[in-house]
Amino acid sequence: MNHHEGMGLLERRYRAILRLLPASYRAEREEEMVAAFMEMSGEVPDEVNPRPRWGEIGSVLALSTRVRLGGAGATPGQVARGEAVRLVALLGMGTLAAFATAGLIRVAGYGAELSVAGAPESAERLSFIGDLAASVLSILAFVTIMRGHVRAAKAAALLGLVPTLGYSVLPLVLGGPDRFAPLQDVANLAFVLLPPLALLIGFHGGVVHRRRPWALALAPVTAGAALMGVTTLLIAADATEPLWYFLWLDHGAAVPVWAAASVVVLARRRSPSWALALSATGLVLLATRLPLLDTLPDALWPTVAVQCALLGTLAVATGGAEVRAMSQRPRPAPVRP
């Protein structure tokens, strides 16, 4: 007998929407949720072509996101993926905060010169101001999420997306089609957009948010200041010749830190969420370095090749470690929260 025989049109549509939920959660809660929706809707004849309300659809989408990212009723795999998304948010926002700190120190040290900021009321000046605003907001978002202030962190991250999109897209328009290779454009955009997006969806009401020490919350600020100090020393030593060690600054500065963390995770066989987060962030970093192989002088090519090999090898290794850990993890029967 067809499962849908005897159902009204509205009930069938509610059940279709509930298919957005993970199968394990739907098996436990579908009948209960359908009954609740039907009770709130009342008797509605098929002739009026009834449909679920937009608010109900939105609530199911939000619930699906929470469950898939480790909320109540999630499976062990979903819990691990949720932890991985939150780690991507913390690692990525910390990296952006460090680079933002270095950029703010650079502006404070050299001033907003026209060659850097653009003429007043120009598109370049607007992009420059947006860049500064995004830098401040990325630092604020990281510090507040580390201190457990989720709403403030999300607000800062959401506001930071506006100037981030502006200063990422506007230079491409102003610079013309030959400014960057297409992969470089996409990779750089993913580098700045992925962490705040992971923060927005990963930290939801279904998980407990930890408050971390101030030392960890301010660590990217210290790292950014140190990065700017090293950069200044290198520029003072040789301001014109593009030497190989400059490739270990900016995005390149994240490569050895990420590689060290990956080696530690692989050696200690930590939770699959760490392995998954490092694999994902490593692939984004790899995408920012690969286009340089076609654009840099031959003398700098080996340095970028080493970075790409390091990122690719460890990203695959950490991804494989996550798959093995999940395959070996026992799968208990779902428990009603």
The one-digit pLDDT tens for each residue of the chain (337 residues) are 445 555 788 889 999 999 999 888 888 889 999 999 888 888 788 888 888 999 999 999 988 888 888 887 778 888 888 999 999 999 999 999 999 999 888 888 765 554 556 666 666 777 777 788 889 999 999 999 999 999 999 999 999 988 777 666 655 555 555 554 467 777 888 888 899 999 999 998 878 888 999 999 999 999 999 988 888 887 777 655 657 778 888 788 999 999 999 999 999 876 789 999 999 999 999 999 998 888 888 888 899 999 999 999 999 999 988 888 777 655 544 434 3
Q: For the residues of 173-187, what is the DSSP string, one character each?
A: HHH-TTSS-HHHHHH
Asked if residue 262 lies in contact with residue 67, where contact means CB atoms within 8 angstroms, the answer is no
What phi, psi does 72 have (nearest 5°)? -60, 135
Dihedral of alpha carbons 194, 215, 129, 252, sign: negative
Burial of 42 (0-12, 13-18, 19+ CB in 10 A): exposed
Contacts of 171 (CB under 8 A, 6+ apart): 127, 179
Q: State the CB neighbour count (10 A cutoff) for residue 246.
A: 16
pLDDT (0 to 100) of residue 337: 34
pLDDT (0 to 100) of residue 336: 42
Helices vs strands, H then E, count in the chain: 13, 0
pLDDT (0 to 100) of residue 146: 96
CB-facing half-sphere around the CA of 141: CA atoms within 13 A = 32
Give residue for tokens 């994240």.
Answer: 254
Asked if residue 100 lies in contact with residue 240, where contact means CB atoms within 8 angstroms, the answer is no
pLDDT (0 to 100) of residue 334: 43
